[in-house]
Amino acid sequence: MIIQRVVLNSRPGKNGVPVAENFRLEQSTIVDTIQAGQVRVRTLYLSVDPYMRCRMNEDTGSDYLLPWQLSEVADGGGIGVVEESKHDNLAKGDFVTSFSWPWQTVAILDGSLLQKLVPQLVNGHLSYFLGAAGMTGLTALLGVREKGHVAVGANQTMVVSGAAGACGSLAGQIGRLEGCSRVVGIAGTDEKCSILVQEMGFDAAVNYKKGNVAEQLRELCPGGVDVYFDNVGGDISDTVISQMNQNSHIILCGQISQYNKDVPYPPPLPPDIEKIQKERNITRERFLVLNYMDKQEASILQLCQWIQEGKLKVRETVVEGLANIGAAFQSMMNGGNIGKQIVSVSK
């Protein structure tokens, strides 16, 4: 059977900026028959995520992420429909997902490594299982619950950087649902800031490309910052940390501003900011959602319930066609998308 697939064409280098040309669309073939325990699936949606930048390097710098190999098919979160099955628990027409879905139009996969999906849980929006009701939502929810120390009635202020992105846009809403009294986002355009406030219930948002971020934060967070959901690192995070309160908490989710730099993860703080962190007893611990997989099922159900009830607003940037996945990746890394970046492969 002839298929299309996307392979890693070149590496940007540890300090390079990824471009669409780092990926290559090519034609390939898969066998026509499947073995016992396997399923043939047609790909519907693929997830494009910031962590994938690390997989473009020869060394990901992580013990849980494998690098993509040159001229080999890339992979990540994906959703598809079963076209043929020789697995006892999966049938033709079932919708399934995997964290290691190959970037190709049709694939033969081990059925035991797939998770069956129930579209009704997300009001029929299958792609949500890659975002708000998937790993992205889990990261936001478990990050807030495990590292944010949010308590109802504690009058806490949360700041979220990268707030219009896939995880940040959910994290701010979840912070509110979990008990924060004030939520302030940081994003890169007036449009994104407007969406955060008008659609997603943030109290305020700062466009970090306009004006003085420190002054705006002081005005919007007069009582200081109690919880910081950090998606970006760098200068923005240094500015937020300098305004954090005694015994406050940093949820170290991502450091997208540092992903094109050859630095350790998490990147060390500048000496003056590290001094503030220690003097104010601010927690800043590495957070990995994979360490909390025993809480996955209950957390996914909670996210789905909030989606069904309209309490969790979901934004996606959808790009049509497997051929455009490289461009989608480049756009995401440049901060061009709002919400979750999804590639729609076929209908």
CA–CA distance, 164 with 166 (Å, rounded to integer): 7
Q: Count CB atoms within 10 A of the CB of residue 260.
A: 17
Q: Where are the alpha helices (DSSP H) in the chain?
A: 52-55, 135-147, 166-178, 190-198, 213-220, 234-241, 271-279, 296-308, 325-333
pLDDT score for 130:
96
Q: Tokens 């896939």 label which residue?
A: 166
CA–CA distance, 345 with 325 (Å, rounded to integer): 9
Query: Is domain 135-290 classified as CATH 3.40.50.720?
Result: yes
pLDDT score for 14:
80
Beta strands in the chain (DSSP E): 2-8, 23-29, 38-48, 75-85, 95-102, 106-110, 115-116, 157-161, 182-187, 204-207, 225-230, 244-252, 283-286, 316-320, 340-344
Whole-prediction pTM value? 0.91
pLDDT score for 51:
86
Q: Do domains 2-131+315-344 and 135-290 have the same CATH topology?
A: no
140-168: string of b/e by CB count within 10 Å (b at 16+)? Answer: bbbbbbebbbbeeeeebbbbbbbbbbbbb
Please give the chain's pLDDT, 347 residues, in tens. 999 999 999 999 888 889 999 999 999 999 999 999 999 999 999 999 988 998 999 988 777 889 999 999 999 999 999 999 999 999 999 999 999 999 999 999 999 999 999 999 999 999 999 999 999 999 999 999 999 999 999 999 999 999 999 999 999 999 999 999 999 999 999 999 999 999 999 999 999 999 899 999 999 999 999 999 999 889 999 999 999 999 999 999 876 544 444 445 677 899 999 999 999 999 998 788 888 989 999 999 999 999 999 999 999 999 999 999 999 999 988 877 889 999 999 75
Domain spanning 2-131+315-344: CATH superfamily: Medium-chain alcohol dehydrogenases, catalytic domain (3.90.180.10)
For residue 176, give both structure tokens. Answer: 């509110």
3-state secondary structure of 345: coil
Residue boundaries of the structural domains of the chain: 2-131+315-344, 135-290
pLDDT score for 257:
42
pLDDT score for 256:
54
pLDDT score for 258:
43
